[in-house]
Amino acid sequence: MSTLRREAGLALAIARKDALAELRGRHATVSTLFFAAVVLLLFGFALGPDSARLAAAAPGFLWLAVVFAGILAVNRLHLLETDDGALEQLALYPVARRVIYAGKAIGGFAVMLVLGVVVLGAVGVLFSVDIAAAWLPLLVTVVLGAVGIAAVGTFYAGVTVRLRAREVMLPLLMLPVLAPLLLGAVRATVAALAGDPFGELGAWLQLLVAFDMIMVVAGAATYGFLLED
């Protein structure tokens, strides 16, 4: 079996293990979803009640809610490994460090994807935005955004897992790095919803792809150093 296939299998095994543990014990995905919903509600309270203004700001709300909930989600995924020293054991397997990173990030991606889709639907309902018309470009944007947030979030969750003041350091480190992803995702969402009048959708999606690729490579290359003490 080629190395790539073997490593992909190992990464998926890690992701599957996380999914299993998550589904069985923690109910964290559900609470993360509800958190995102609450954030949306608060946006409505803070910037409403003018429906036109809310509809115009909806793409921003969508991605802010996803990013904030995403911070909680990646944090949880790393907390899974605090089960009786599981992270240390994980680091001791003869498995390449980038594979461990990939496994954690795939799990993060799955959660972020679910989050993105659900929040997209919620935004459509709460802020009277027609998402059905542009569902395909919106879905693509959500997928690309999920990859980026998972890649960056997994990395920083690893950095902060044993750090003092973790709760504030994780968002503080993660959010500035995510700024271009936030910008690109919101712009792409705006363009998609408006039917792409200026033809800019492609450019923003390309930005997201570039961001994703760069961050995945950077994360995979450096995550391993976190596992050695």
* 95 binds another protein, rule: CB under 8 A: yes
- Smallest distance, another protein to C-beta of residue 106, A: 15
- Smallest distance, another protein to C-beta of residue 169, A: 7
Among 64, 123, 184, 192, interactor with another protein by CB under 8 A: 184
What is the CB neighbour count within 10 angstroms for residue 52?
A: 8
- Smallest distance, another protein to C-beta of residue 41, A: 27
Specify the DSSP class assigned to residue 26: I
Contact indicator for 114, 29 with CB cutoff of 8 Å: yes
* CA dist list (Å): 157 to 15, 69, 76, 119, 170: 16, 14, 9, 22, 6
Beta strand spans in 114-203 (E): none
Compare residues 111 and 122 and give the one whose CB is closer to another protein: 111
* 226 binds another protein, rule: CB under 8 A: yes
Classify the C-alpha dihedral 82-83-85-91 as positive or negative. negative
The 3-class SS string of 67-121 reads HHHHHHHHHHHHHHHHHHHHHHHHHHCCCCHHHHHHHHHHHHHHHHHHHHHHHHH
Compare residues 124 and 156 and give the one whose CB is closer to another protein: 156
* 37 binds another protein, rule: CB under 8 A: no
* 5 binds another protein, rule: CB under 8 A: no
Cis peptide before 49 (omega within 30 of 0): yes
Compare residues 143 and 175 and give the one whose CB is closer to another protein: 175
Query: Of 42-50, 61-69, 138-146, 217-225, which part binds another protein (CB under 8 A)?
Result: 217-225
Question: How many residues interact with another protein (rule CB under 8 A)?
Answer: 57
Query: Of 23-31, 39-47, 110-118, 134-142, which part binds another protein (CB under 8 A)?
Result: 23-31
| Residues 6 or more apart whose Cβ sits within 8 Å of residue 162 | none
**Residues at the site binding another protein, with contacts judged by CB under 8 A:** 9-10, 13, 17, 20-21, 24-26, 80, 83-86, 88-96, 152, 155, 159, 163-165, 169, 172-173, 175-177, 179-180, 183-184, 187, 198, 200, 203-204, 207, 210-211, 214-215, 218-219, 222-223, 225-226, 228-229
